[in-house]
A and B are shown apart, each in its own frame.
Chain A
């Protein structure tokens, strides 16, 4: 129950999985020696000309389709002009007014259920180089490495549909999963193949009245009568405010100026930075409202069904809009650092790139892209639930591991006949083992048939969980089948009823206190007797059988 709602839009850049750059044949490989992967084209030498990488365009098309975007029939290239030493031409080849895709969405899983996050547009552009600060030069110089220059990027801009830092993280995770699944990008944040800038501000509910009951769907009082509510301290208390993070229609909010956070280099960082920044904005709002900032109903606007009034700054007796600011995320200190207010809008002087020709996207290109998509994660999660009866949680754990793991699951479940148990084994033992061994599922020693065999063995023989894990480990270590692993470990499940009944009887006799406790109603006391039976059989007793025999013997006492 926050006293405000957080409004987040993300701008994601992903590097497309091409071998070569967007407009030349230089390598896109990460970690090459500085300035070893450049040519006249990407280094912007006089006279060099760009030629479009077909693979980059095809990958971008796939991504846009997976993001449910509308695909343009004609798209073109534009130059975005700005001077920076990591941009050797001092213009970036990008897409301005005719991006190849727009108006899509990505479905994410939130605690409250699935949610569609709007995508404003996705377009292709070239990356810039890398700047390093020169420590040796006494801090007077910066160093430029142009290896990254011209690497193909897909820029994906979301609507401001995200309402919490956790949602932003979920969006990024889903984006990464999706783009990895369709093999468009490897989305490694550490290597810069996925980068994220976040635009964030907060909406603070204001009059007609702060009490919860007034946040009804009644029409808001006419705009010119709306006054910024009360004192900052009254808002800070926020105790009576019950604001849904989604915001109800008809409410009126004050909106803080948008801050764009850059240099976010981990998903956790994104979440932390957004949390910090939202709270910082709330503090700032409380501090400045009434003194420096004002909320003027005349600048009210509609935002997703509610009325929103951006705060304005009092300057020389008049009110001016507060410009959007850029902030950096300081991971070490855990704070956002405001860098500058963009008082003057950048003038990029976009115009059509005359060195490239437009692209007509025909049905053949679309079909090819669609054919390359396969099943997307959201659809897959659905299917795992309906077809295999998995819980939403189990389905999303499997789905998040990618198609190969899901395929492994489906084969194993088919053979074992027990999807739930199969999902448990994979989510726990299999993924743990892969993680420990830094392996991919295709390198995993236990084939689906063997894992299915183990699951069936556990079911039919009543092998206990601990022993079953040991068998699993043996199988994973030696490529053994279930039978071979059992034999090697010398495990023979005792399922002989008369033999077991004898052992149970002895255990009952040897534990009179536990029996007495049990009789007094302490059901748990039976565990001690069961433990004795297991010790006696070295854990090889058929668990289900022991359970039944113990109940019978206790009854008989």
Chain B
């Protein structure tokens, strides 16, 4: 049961399977295998089973069911769920229980999906390996000594290992696409504004976007359909109709021009990854697509821009964790200022501190022009590059990451090296574009490789179709890792 895709689980229920047995099967798998992975932070069996029973009851009564009825979803612990612990991977929110549901959670409930539990992540989504979690390190199901990527590493690992058929992640600089690539699954970052951020604990507000993690493009499209759409509580949520992405999926995009940015195939790109991606590009060519070399001249500045813009916003977004109204409060302190500084000093991990410091520095008097404002100007140039590119091609294709999954601990001592693992994904966040990572091969060590495709804003439909064209011709997405129970 736990090997099935969302589409297959929906079909199974039409054939007589119950949401309860599906949910129970996934819970059982979690209890058996997650000791090896640590993909989940909190799993509430009773809460999940109760939802499943409710779905079964609805089905029995002949009520109209949502599009994800009875399908379990693993949710990144960055989304608020009313009455359920929501930690954002941080000790500072160890005991925080939100009094409200994130919009995406509301939509999942409306779709009759089963909220299976909350998954591990880099603290406040700051990281690319899930090693920055305040609680535990998640392992890659393909190789337990390696990272699943991050920051949505828990959700990606859960889906890859069959602990959940679907996962919800967030992507600020690649945090859905990069772990999807490293775990051999599909990860989709929608256009900025496509999915409401209401109830999503903020990291970089002008970059954050919620999106699906799934075994294949169809499942990702289905989950996107369930969560996308206008929300009046998020001023940056765009009011446009949501197409039925899953329905037109097998339509071929013809003619199709695939833009290949030459900057994405330069120093630092692992040879095996490059090879797999070039083979994938050839597949498009064989299906009649035109491959066109393009240039994104400012792409080498994307990481620098990103680390100034995202950290500046984060330094402000994370100011609220001060031990005053919610969250961790230090036990010993001299006065109010000391209480706040100690609560934050104790509650935040090293990477969060580093980024809060960098962001504060970038905004501080005397530096704001040279850093924050300069970064915003270059952000404009980066966006202009994409605008120019999309006048020449339908989608942009390249590697999702420069390497396959790296070893745990390999980059924790070198923040910059870690930042550079997002080099290909950051552009889509800075420009607000939709992007997807689909499995396109394996290294000789058996580690998955991801192909990244990007499209112009709100061209999710086309992007999913193009991704599906590749997926249909290959079977990388059908491979599953063998995860042993611990001990």
Contact = CB atoms under 8 A, between A and B. Distances in A.
A356 interface: yes
Contacts, number: 102
A281 B88 CA distance: 53
A412 to B, nearest CB: 49
A138 interface: no
A539 interface: no
A176 interface: no
B263 to A, nearest CB: 27
A144 B325 contact: yes
A49 B322 contact: no
Interface stretch (A39-47, A413-421, A447-455, A526-534): A39-47
A336 B440 CA distance: 73
B364 A47 contact: no
A21 to B, nearest CB: 14
Nearest to B366: A347
A43 B325 contact: yes
B235 A46 contact: no
A44 B86 CA distance: 15
B282 to A, nearest CB: 40
Interface residues of A, number: 31
Given A47-B201, A49-B233, A351-B372, A81 B320 contact: no
For the side of the interface on B, what is the size category? 35 or more
Contacts of B313: 351, 354
B356 to A, nearest CB: 11
A83 B88 CA distance: 22
Contact of B93 (A46, A83, A351): A46
Interface in A344-402: 345, 347, 349-351, 354-357
A88 interface: yes
Nearest to A82: B319
A91 interface: yes
B205 A354 contact: yes
Contacts of A81: 315-316, 319, 363
A9 to B, nearest CB: 23
Contact of B340 (A45, A46, A50, A83): A83
B445 interface: no
Given A347-B364, A349-B363, A90 B235 contact: no
B236 interface: yes
Contact of A349 (B202, B336, B368): B368
B439 interface: no
Contact of B80 (A47, A88, A351, A356): A47
A320 interface: no
A355 B320 contact: no
Interface string B192-233: 000001111110111000000000000000000000000011
Interface in A131-147: 142, 144, 146
Contacts of B336: 85, 142
Contacts of A85: 322, 324, 336
Contacts of A90: 316, 319-320, 322
A51 interface: yes
Contact of B235 (A79, A89, A144, A356): A356
A47 B319 contact: no
B360 A45 contact: no
B235 A49 contact: yes
A349 B233 contact: no
A47 B200 contact: yes
Given A51-B235, A52-B235, A351 B312 contact: yes
> A43, A142, A354, A357 — which one has the most chain B CB atoms within 10 A of its CB?
A354
Contacts of B461: none
Contact of B320 (A50, A52, A89): A89
A51 B232 contact: yes
A91 B198 contact: no
A260 B354 CA distance: 37
Given A345-B365, A354-B313, A45 B235 contact: no
Interface in B88-102: 88, 93, 96, 98-100, 102
B316 A349 contact: yes
Nearest to A146: B325
Nearest to B360: A349
B346 interface: no
A46 B88 contact: yes
A211 interface: no
A49 B197 contact: yes
Given A47-B197, A49-B234, 8 more contacts: A40-B98, A46-B86, A48-B199, A51-B234, A51-B235, A81-B363, A85-B322, A349-B360
Q: Rank and list the top 7 A-B pairs by shortest CB-CB distance, nearest first.
A: A90-B319, A354-B205, A349-B363, A354-B206, A46-B201, A47-B199, A347-B365
28 contacts: A40-B100, A44-B325, A45-B99, A46-B80, A47-B197, A48-B198, A49-B235, A51-B233, A81-B319, A81-B363, A83-B319, A83-B337, A89-B319, A90-B322, A91-B316, A142-B336, A349-B315, A349-B364, A349-B368, A350-B363, A351-B313, A351-B368, A351-B372, A354-B205, A355-B202, A355-B235, A355-B236, A356-B235
